[in-house]
Amino acid sequence: MALILGIESSCDETAAALVTSDGRVLAHRLAGQEDAHRPFGGVVPEIAARAHVEMATPLVAAVLADAGVTLDKVDAIAATAGPGLIGGVMVGLITGKALAHAAGKPLIAVNHLEGHALSPRLVDRDLAFPYLLLLVSGGHCQLLLVKGVGDYRRLATTIDDAAGEAFDKTAKLLGLGFPGGPAVERTALEGDPRAVPLPRPLVGSGEPHFSFAGLKSAVLRARDAGLYRPEDIAASFQQAVVDCLIDRTARAITIVEGATALVVAGGVAANEAVRGGLAALAGRSGLRFSAPPLWLCTDNGAMIAWAGAERFALGLIDDMDVPARARWPLDPNAEKARGAGVKA
Ligand code: KG4
Ligand code: ZN
């Protein structure tokens, strides 16, 4: 049994956790930065990086104290090495390197997306490779065949915005505050999902790619029309996103081979309408369904420690000169989606 320390700092959460290779979370802590970013309505990279500098070391000390262990009891140190806001990634990775160097422990450089991709296996111990993964976060919206640790085939991606980004922009347009996803979900509970006609971009198209920029523009037009309650716009927007995610995932199910489970991970997987829609799709498709608990969907240290544990078990450790990366695709061979980069 190995004990892994995980450090996460790729966006606006500083997080640390201690996880065992048999899937026990001994401690996990998170320091959000919402208050620092709220006045700007979004994450400011410079502010994020400074906050990570202040919080990374105290959080590591806190999880060690929570678990009642010292650093010499840890078998390896895993830190996010990208993709993400480069200043923050550098802070977390440097912290991991310094601790690994000082304690004489192996360093594991974790791809943040692999942290999300493997997170369901921390709690669902029967979830076996290969599985079809819908990875939906603030920065990414992808369908992947997860064949094994470090072995991914990307089936689809977004040609413009990520799903979480669409939630955040809609929240901003409706004045619901920051962070946007949970605010839209709360507001949508009071609204009618059929009240506002909104588009379902790319639904029905052959390749299972996503597009959300047009939906955001339609939300702006609906708001400016002055005909609809914000609750109804939020509910109709959320329904449109769910419909897109379900249609595109259903399309991927028809073309992917070998997957026995449908899995959702990433911040948007915390949304109950998204989880419910995908669970129903899995049921209709004869697939097992797996989604991490809500705290494990949004960024956290346990998923980085767990990805570290999975890599450590395979002997995948990194050199001290491993770089921090702003971009780091899980499938380096994936082709660019047609139309990618074109914002509606
Ligand atoms: O995985 P994550 O914490 O960070 C990234 O790696 O991007 O995902 C954050 C994204 C944000 O866009 C946030 O608005 C969205 O996940 N999100 C949600 C919910 N909770 C978080 N979107 C919809 N409904 C939610 N309940
Ligand atoms: Zn994330």
**Residue pLDDT, tens place only, 100-155:** 999 999 999 999 999 999 999 999 999 999 999 999 999 999 999 999 999 999 99
Average pLDDT over residues 313-333: 97
- Of the two residues 237 and 335, the one the predictor is more confident about is 237
Measured in angstroms, how far is the CA atom of residue 51 from the centroid of ligand 1?
20
On whether both 140 and 194 belong to a single domain, the answer is yes
pLDDT tens readout for residues 29-83: 999 998 899 888 788 999 999 999 999 999 999 999 999 999 999 999 999 999 9
Q: What is the band of 344 on the pLDDT scale with cuts at 50, 70, 90? A: very low
d(CA 330, ligand 1 centre) in Å: 19
Residue 277 lies in a domain: yes
The per-residue pLDDT for 343 is: 41
* 272 and 139 co-located in one domain: yes
Tell me how far the alpha carbon of residue 280 lies from the centroid of ligand 2, in angstroms: 24
Which domain range does residue 182 map to? Answer: 128-291
Contact 246, 136 (CB under 8 A): no
Pocket of ligand 1, beta carbon within 6 A? 11, 137-139, 164-165, 167-168, 179-182, 185, 266-268, 270-271, 298-299
Q: Which residue has the higher pLDDT, 343 or 18?
A: 18
Output the CA 67–ligand 2 centroid distance in Å: 25
Residues 135 and 67 in one domain: no
- Work out the number of other CB atoms within 10 angstroms of the CB of residue 2: 14
Are residues 246 and 169 part of one domain? yes
Closest to 305 in 3D by CA, of 12, 22, 13:
22
Residue from 187, 268, 328 whose mutation best tests the ligand 1 pocket (most atoms within 8 A of CB): 268
Task: Give the residue, out of 137, 216, 295, with the most ligand 1 atoms within 8 A of its beta carbon, to mutate for a pocket test.
Answer: 137
Residues 86 and 180 reside in one and the same domain: no
Q: Would 336 be classed as within a structural domain?
A: no
Atom of ligand 1 nearest to the CA of 171: 14
181-206 mean pLDDT: 98
320 three-state secondary structure: coil
Is 253 part of a structural domain of the chain?
yes
- Choosing from 167, 178, 187, 215 the residue with most ligand 1 atoms within 8 A of its CB, the one to mutate for a pocket test is 167
Domain shared by 134 and 262, yes or no: yes
Shared domain check, 191 and 234: yes
Share above pLDDT 90 across residues of the chain, in percent, rounded to a whole number? 94
Same domain for 86 and 140? no
CA distance 320 to 185: 42
pLDDT of residue 337: 78
Query: Does 151 fall in a domain?
Result: yes
- 21 and 81 fall within a common domain: yes
341 pLDDT tier (thresholds 50, 70, 90): low
- Looking at the fold, whether 113 and 149 belong to one and the same domain comes out as no
Distance separating alpha carbons of residues 15 and 271, to the nearest angstrom? 21
Q: Has residue 270 got a pLDDT over 80?
A: yes
55 lies in the same domain as 204: no
Domain with residue 142: its CATH number is 3.30.420.40
Flag whether 344 is in a domain. Answer: no
pTM of the model: 0.96
CA-proximal residue: ligand 1, atom 14 (nearest): 181
Q: For residue 187, is pLDDT > 80?
A: yes
- Nearest-atom index, ligand 1, CA of 112: 6
342 domain residue, yes or no:
no
Contacts of 307 (CB under 8 A, 6+ apart): 6, 78, 108, 110, 111, 114, 115, 117, 118, 119, 149
Report how far ligand 2's centroid is from the alpha carbon of 182 (Å).
15
339 found inside a domain: no
Report how many domains make up the chain: 2
Q: Over 86-100, what HEC string results?
A: HHHHHHHHHHHHHHH
Whether 67 and 152 share a structural domain: no
pLDDT for residue 286: 98
> Within 10 A of 113 (CB to CB), how many other CB atoms are there?
28
